[in-house]
Amino acid sequence: MKTVALIGYGYWGPNLLRNYMELPGATVKWVCDSRPEALAKAHARYPTVAGTTDYREVLADAQVDAVLIATPISTHFPLAKDALLAGKHVFVEKPMTGSTAEAVDLVELAVAQGLTLMVGHTFVFSPPVRKVKEIIDSGELGDIYFVTSSRVNLGLHQKDASVVWDLAPHDLSILHYWLEESPNGVSVAGRACINPGIPDVAFINLRFPSGIVAELQVAWLSPVKLRRTIVVGSRKMLLYDDTESVEKVKIFDHGVDFKDPQTFGEFQLSYRTGDIVSPKIAGSEPLFLEASHFVECLETGGRPITDGAAGLAVVASLEAADYSLRNGGCMRSIITGSGSS
Ligand SMILES: NC(=O)c1ccc[n+]([C@@H]2O[C@H](COP(=O)([O-])OP(=O)(O)OC[C@H]3O[C@@H](n4cnc5c(N)ncnc54)[C@H](O)[C@@H]3O)[C@@H](O)[C@H]2O)c1
């Protein structure tokens, strides 16, 4: 049985708490939030969990094995660092930190302390995302040519983070998981339509070492909610639509084949539009699977799927995307581990 403490009980923290309260392998001992009214809400719902406004009280408790951090991005690094220095395992929400240098520091500190560092890349635990990974790995789609995705809705404008840092971590972490490689270049066009200085729409173009290219559209301004990703391969194509209630993943036996020229200078293309198949997908809650995975890693000493290195890869892409956005959409190289150039 692992004892955990939650820091941050705003919008997302309650979802973490609900899931950890249901986990057979974990006990939640503390909820910490700097706002007393947030603690009062937590106490009303879970009277057995202790509350504090000072996270140092949590870190001083020798019974606490791990902390869960669900605070604003700018606080992730100092809180996670202090927790690791206090000998606690850390689960920190996405994005892991606000800069690549901080992400590198956390990864190195976790290794030096021999502690688990996991990042809340929740979509990696979502059954349809898992299913797409299985399909890609099986080779059914052939070689992946490109990925395009839309994550737009009339969203909550954040005060301290652009739409890139708020929404793109989801798609970047999904791509990292599916493709098992990190992008090495990014260019971004975007705009701050409502709050000056905080972009609320961005079109992020990524290129990968393998030649795969990807485009991510993220926006807090849209008349409809889209959560749609298309993966195009040399054999088949796939649509993942997270807003669908049942058929979230569809595989299209569609493609274009290049036929060798019969005579010099001639070539033919043959277009194929075959079956559309929607695989059965389990209905489990991604957050519960994520929480179970963290506790299992604590018990076994195993490496989390969304470990510090995965968190670092996402942060390096976000930082490079930010640079491109602020510099007219220039192509920015992404160097995971030592920042970008
Ligand atoms: N994984 C997901 O799908 C997902 C979804 C939404 C948000 N998030 C992430 O969760 C994190 C929190 O987002 P949110 O929308 O809940 O933010 P929020 O602002 O609603 O809540 C943050 C809470 O942290 C508290 N807090 C801030 N600094 C603190 C400190 N030093 N000590 C104790 N408490 C402190 C605040 O009082 C607030 O209650 C962000 O990193 C966000 O990206 C993840």
pLDDT at position 337 is: 56
Residue in the block written with tokens 């036996």: 253
Residues 27-42, mean pLDDT to the nearest whole number: 98
- Contact, 200 vs 193, CB < 8 A? yes
Task: Flag whether pLDDT at 69 surpasses 80.
Answer: yes
Q: Is the CB of 151 under 6 A from ligand 1?
A: no
Whole-number Å distance, alpha carbon 291 to ligand 1 midpoint, is 17
Shortest-distance Cα residue to atom 6 of ligand 1: 12
Residue in the block written with tokens 């606690």: 88
Mutation to probe ligand 1, out of 6, 18, 67, 93 (largest number of atoms < 8 A from CB) = 93
pLDDT category of residue 265 using cuts at 50, 70 and 90: low
Nearest ligand 1 atom to alpha carbon 92? 41
Q: Is the CB of 248 under 6 A from ligand 1?
A: no
Chain-centre distance for alpha carbon 261: 45
Nearest ligand 1 atom to alpha carbon 121? 1
Q: Is the CB of 91 under 6 A from ligand 1?
A: no
Using one digit for the tens of pLDDT, what is the confidence trace for 134-154? 999 999 999 999 999 999 999
Instruction: Give the tokens for residue 91.
Output: 């689960």
Integer Cα distance of 259 and 45 in angstroms: 65
DSSP 125: G
pLDDT at position 338 is: 41
pTM: 0.95
Mutation to probe ligand 1, out of 16, 18, 31, 33 (largest number of atoms < 8 A from CB) = 33
Task: Of 65, 70, 30, give the one whose Cα is nearest residue 46.
Answer: 30
Residues 269-293, mean pLDDT to the nearest whole number: 95
Whole-number Å distance, alpha carbon 9 to ligand 1 midpoint, is 7
Instruction: Give the tokens for residue 211.
Output: 């030649």
Q: Is the CB of 93 under 6 A from ligand 1?
A: yes
pLDDT at position 327 is: 96
Shortest-distance Cα residue to atom 10 of ligand 1: 70
Q: How many Cβ atoms sit within 10 Å of the Cβ of residue 72?
A: 14
pLDDT at position 59 is: 98
Shortest-distance Cα residue to atom 40 of ligand 1: 72
Using one digit for the tens of pLDDT, what is the confidence trace for 108-129? 999 999 999 999 999 999 999 9
Radius of gyration of the chain (CA): 21
Residues 101-113, mean pLDDT to the nearest whole number: 98
The residue ranking higher by pLDDT, 54 or 260, is: 54
Residues 188-193, mean pLDDT to the nearest whole number: 97
258, β-bridge pairs: 269
Residues 223-231, mean pLDDT to the nearest whole number: 98
Integer Cα distance of 51 and 45 in angstroms: 12
Residues 68-77, mean pLDDT to the nearest whole number: 97
Q: Is the CB of 59 under 6 A from ligand 1?
A: no
Instruction: Give the tokens for residue 246.
Output: 């049942």
Task: Of 285, 307, 283, give the one whose Cα is nearest residue 294.
Answer: 307
pLDDT at position 259 is: 78
Residue in the block written with tokens 């954040």: 158
Q: What does the CA dihedral 311, 314, 315, 321 come to, rounded to 10 degrees?
A: 180
Whole-number Å distance, alpha carbon 109 to ligand 1 midpoint, is 23
Integer Cα distance of 182 and 195 in angstroms: 31
